[in-house]
């Protein structure tokens, strides 16, 4: 009975094929939504089965599997798909190619389900490629627009390169380990990890898969396709930012046991992830186009996700991609409503930060209120950290690095945001707002992340942390934290205490120009064009 | 050795279209038909004749393939594109010899689809040239859909058989430097050519100066037959690649 769950990837294809025979326009979304809600129900049933009986469901000769990773991701994708389809019902109504849109949407969802549920490298390769072509056709959905088609071309070139690198990785894996079956391979890799491995080919394989993941997840220097694809219909943008870019993280989770054997690849993942997170977050703050800004925000989040993988926190990457996906999808999907409101009220949309920090909305004794807030937020963190330190010896070795890096990164980004957007506001409120956001992140990361870790990897989870030998020491972390704080204070000093009208330094302008021009990425590409 | 040379020429290892294009009595659709027939003969002959694998021949075919990619980027004619693609894919045939038979058949079927699209354009728009016949996807979704199927197949994407056989052979062969060069050239060569056609005729704003024509029932049936043939090959391709 439970084997029926394994049919999930085929349901969207059946929907797409049946849509060809639907003549009435209003039946297109109805059929699509009805059948995709079946996927959500099946997915939830599958998750119940995996949790209840603590066993994976396999079928089709071991080609597909519904395991712990699928149990988390399939319902997530299914519910996301349902929301996107429902949203697209009215949003896309007047667009040319309404039926085509739903057909393509179903194809890409099929590819995502297949990718998540694959238990074989060849199936994974097929899903990987099917996703590339479906994405291309969706991004270039507005075929009459030259810029949409041009940007879709860039997307496709990077994805095609990712396909090739992935296929080469699969070929080398088969030649080295003699199997395509991921379950068999994972067992083999786990057994091999017990003793030191000295095979350069494993590093090459790991690197190929990492590069493929980087390309699909828009990690620098392959990030450029994502910020420029916002001309796609809004539901596609939501899907792209919430689902498609996450496949890099999903792939690395599927190959987690391979990466146990190649700590160097994990280290590379950490470095490129960190660089992408910082670079994209900074560019996000300075680009003038709001859609590109959102694109860079996603790039930054993907960098963070890859960084987590690089630290050995594979399950945290899964959690991160889901949380970010929900957040970013809701941002895109509510944009239409905000635009509609803005047409009636020229002051809309207002930012929450604007209302909170510029307009004095909070009545009464604000200082007292924030003291209470500080008491109820900082104290639990101190208790939490204290308990963790007493109970777990590994805290500083494993989790602390992630948590403190999360703090450093989030605080760093938001510090910049504060200075550029809410600089004249009450500093106490700003600081408390930042601390509150940090606490939310810390708590959810620690509790949900740990729960996911136990569910997906069980006792093997600690092996990944050990393999990620690029463990940042406590001293380095504190030094980094101190540097961030110093930079922050320097900004505060220059902003509030330095003399007004002083000339900005050339270095600062050079840095600003570097960010505004998105790292001179296109200038470099244009050199070849000019020569031509 | 003679049979190897014969197969090499039949399988489009040499760009003999350079010669055929100079003959005034041969039109591009005739060159396609000649190339397709010779390619089919090469494919069939591998079942009966044991050929010797020859690295120099593969290298020559590879150079010919790169040249054909260049030639294909210079044309907007469906017939020409169709026969150039035989020459682009020739190194794969020569590299994998007997094992590449099914890939060759898939290629032949998808190029037949391109050829039929060329005939449709020739019949309704005056020539098989797709230059300026833009936005087909929007105005004539049927021919747009069929063309997109053929181009996806040529660009080596699943679920079409070209991609499945391509993957099947490369997963079951031993990589060598020449292997890498051939695979990468074909992987991107086919892709760029297919994308170029998509951009130039499937996408874009519909041309207001052109009267776009619907497919007749007969044309629809012919294209449906080709697509079904491709899907049938896909079923076999899935078996080959997965089992």
Question: What's the confidence (pLDDT) of residue A131?
Answer: 92
CB < 8 Å to A140, chain B: 203
* Cα–Cα distance list, A26 to A19, A32, A36, A351 (Å): 11, 11, 16, 36
Name the maximum alpha-carbon separation found in chain B.
57
pLDDT, tens digit, 9 for 90 and up, residues B108-165: 999 999 999 999 999 999 899 998 899 898 888 899 999 999 999 999 998 899 999 9
Look over chain B and give the mean of its residue pLDDT values, rounded to a whole number.
90
In chain A, domain spans: 1-117, 120-347, 350-498, 500-532
What angle in degrees, to the nearest 10, is found between the helix axes of B101-125 and B217-242? 160
Question: What's the confidence (pLDDT) of residue A360?
Answer: 47
Question: What's the confidence (pLDDT) of residue A361?
Answer: 46
Question: What's the confidence (pLDDT) of residue B119?
Answer: 94
Interface contacts A/B by beta carbons within 8 Å = 69
Q: For A351-360, B170-179, B223-232, which range has the lowest pLDDT when averaged over its residues?
A: A351-360
Question: What's the confidence (pLDDT) of residue A282?
Answer: 84
Of A128, A135, A139, A452, which is closest to residue A321 (Cα–Cα)?
A452
pLDDT, tens digit, 9 for 90 and up, residues A73-124: 999 999 999 999 999 998 888 888 899 999 999 999 999 999 999 999 999 9
Between the ranges A101-105, A367-371, A511-515, where is the mean pLDDT highest? A101-105
- The DSSP secondary-structure symbol of A503 reads P
Confidence band of A423 (pLDDT split at 50, 70, 90): very low
pLDDT, tens digit, 9 for 90 and up, residues A31-45: 999 999 999 999 999
- Global pTM reads 0.86
From CA A161, how far away is CA A163, in angstroms rounded?
A: 5
From CA A163, how far away is CA A126, in angstroms rounded?
A: 9
Q: Which of B157, B203, B206 sits opposite A149 (nearest CB)?
A: B203
List the single residue in A with minimal CA-CA distance to B195.
Answer: A153
List the single residue in A with minimal CA-CA distance to B199.
Answer: A149
Q: Is A129 on the interface with B (CB under 8 A)?
A: yes
pLDDT at residue A393 tops 60: no
CB < 8 Å to B203, chain A: 140, 143, 149
CB < 8 Å to B187, chain A: 160, 163-164
Mean predicted confidence (pLDDT) in B220-227: 95
Provide the CA A249 distance to its chain's centre, in angstroms: 8
Of A163, A162, A180, which is closest to residue A171 (Cα–Cα)?
A180
Provide the CA A38 distance to its chain's centre, in angstroms: 26
Four-residue CA torsion sign, A341, A345, A348, A354: negative
Determine how many CB atoms are found less than 10 A away from the CB of residue B200. Answer: 16
Look over chain A and give the mean of its residue pLDDT values, rounded to a whole number.
80
pLDDT at residue A247 tops 70: yes
Tell the burial category of B217 from Cβ atoms under 10 Å away from its Cβ (0-12, 13-18, 19+).
exposed
Confidence band of B67 (pLDDT split at 50, 70, 90): very high
Beta bridge partners of A118: A64
Of B98, B121, B92, which is closest to residue B202 (Cα–Cα)?
B121
Helices H / strands E in chain B, number of each: 11, 0
Q: Which of A129, A137, A144 sits opposite B205 (nearest CB)?
A: A144
**Among B196, B198, B228, the residue to mutate for chain A (most A Cβ within 10 A):** B198
CB contact under 8 A, A126 and B141: no
């Amino acid at each position: 009975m439970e084997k029926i769950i394994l049919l999930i990837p085929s349901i969207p294809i059946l929907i797409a094929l049946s849509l060809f025979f639907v003549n009435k326009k209003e039946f297109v979304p109805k059929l699509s939504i009805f059948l995709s809600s079946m996927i959500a129900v099946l997915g939830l049933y599958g998750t119940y089965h995996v949790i209840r009986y603590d066993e994976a469901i396999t079928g089709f000769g071991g080609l597909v599997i519904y395991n712990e990773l699928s149990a988390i991701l399939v319902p997530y994708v299914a519910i996301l798909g349902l929301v996107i389809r429902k949203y697209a019902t009215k949003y896309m109504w007047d667009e040319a190619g309404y039926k085509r849109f739903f057909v393509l949407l179903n194809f890409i969802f099929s590819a995502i389900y297949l990718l998540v549920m694959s238990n074989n490298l060849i199936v994974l390769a097929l899903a990987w490629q099917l996703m590339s072509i479906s994405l291309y056709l969706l991004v270039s959905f507005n075929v009459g627009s030259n810029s949409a088609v041009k940007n879709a071309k860039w997307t496709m070139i990077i994805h095609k390169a990712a396909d090739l690198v992935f296929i080469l990785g699969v070929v080398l894996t088969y030649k080295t380990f003699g199997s395509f079956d991921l379950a068999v391979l994972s067992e083999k890799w786990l057994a091999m990890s017990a003793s030191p491995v000295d095979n350069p080919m494993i590093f090459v394989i790991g690197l190929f898969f990492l590069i493929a993941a980087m390309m699909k997840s828009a990690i620098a220097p392959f990030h450029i396709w994502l910020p420029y694809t916002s001309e796609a219909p809004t539901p596609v943008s939501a899907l792209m930012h919430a689902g498609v870019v996450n496949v890099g993280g999903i792939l690395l989770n599927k190959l987690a046991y391979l990466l146990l054997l190649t700590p160097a690849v994990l280290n590379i993942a950490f470095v490129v992830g960190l660089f992408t997170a910082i670079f994209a977050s900074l560019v996000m703050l300075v680009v003038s186009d709001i859609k590109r800004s959102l694109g860079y925000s996603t790039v930054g989040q993907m960098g963070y996700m890859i960084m987590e993988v690089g630290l050995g926190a594979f399950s945290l990457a899964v959690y991160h991609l889901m949380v970010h996906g929900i957040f970013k999808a809701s941002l895109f999907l509510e944009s239409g409503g905000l635009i509609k409101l803005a047409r009636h009220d020229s002051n809309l949309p207002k930012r929450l930060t604007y209302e909170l920090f510029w307009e004095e909305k909070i009545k009464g004794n604000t200082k007292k209120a924030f003291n209470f807030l500080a008491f109820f937020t900082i104290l639990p963190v101190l208790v939490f950290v204290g308990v963790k330190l007493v109970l777990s010896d590994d805290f500083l070795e494993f989790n602390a690095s992630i948590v403190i890096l999360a703090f450093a990164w989030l605080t760093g980004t938001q510090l910049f945001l504060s200075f550029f957007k809410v600089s004249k506001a009450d500093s106490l409120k700003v600081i408390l707002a930042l601390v509150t956001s940090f606490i939310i992140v810390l708590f959810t990361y620690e509790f949900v992340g740990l729960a996911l870790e136990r569910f997906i990897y069980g006792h093997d989870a600690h092996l990944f942390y050990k393999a990620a030998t690029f463990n940042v020491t406590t001293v380095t972390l504190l030094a980094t934290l101190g540097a961030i704080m110093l930079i922050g204070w320097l900004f505060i000093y220059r902003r509030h205490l330095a003399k007004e009208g002083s000339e900005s330094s050339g270095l600062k302008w050079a840095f600003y120009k570097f960010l505004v021009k998105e790292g001179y990425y296109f200038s470099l590409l244009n050199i070849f064009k000019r020569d031509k | 050795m003679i049979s190897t040379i014969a197969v090499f020429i039949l399988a489009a290892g040499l760009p003999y279209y350079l010669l055929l294009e100079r003959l005034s009595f041969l039109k591009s659709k005739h060159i396609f038909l000649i190339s397709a027939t010779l390619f089919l003969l090469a494919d069939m002959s591998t079942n009966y004749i044991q050929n010797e694998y020859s690295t120099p021949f593969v290298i020559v075919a590879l150079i010919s393939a790169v040249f054909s990619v260049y030639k294909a980027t210079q044309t907007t004619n469906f017939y020409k594109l169709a026969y150039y693609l035989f020459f682009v894919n020739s190194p794969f045939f020569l590299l994998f010899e007997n094992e590449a038979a099914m890939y060759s058949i898939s290629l032949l079927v998808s190029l037949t689809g391109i050829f039929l699209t060329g005939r449709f354009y020739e019949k309704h728009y005056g020539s098989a040239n797709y230059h300026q016949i833009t936005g087909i996807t929007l105005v004539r979704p049927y021919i747009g859909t069929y063309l997109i199927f053929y181009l996806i197949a040529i660009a080596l994407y699943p679920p079409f058989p070209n991609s499945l056989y391509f993957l099947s052979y490369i997963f079951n062969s031993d990589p060598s430097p020449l292997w890498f060069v051939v695979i990468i050239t074909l992987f991107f060569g086919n892709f760029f050519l297919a994308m170029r056609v998509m951009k130039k005729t499937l996408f874009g704003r519909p041309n207001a100066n052109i009267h776009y024509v619907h497919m007749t029932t007969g044309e629809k049936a012919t294209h449906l037959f080709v697509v079904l043939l491709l899907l049938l090959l896909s079923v076999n391709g899935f078996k080959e690649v997965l089992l």
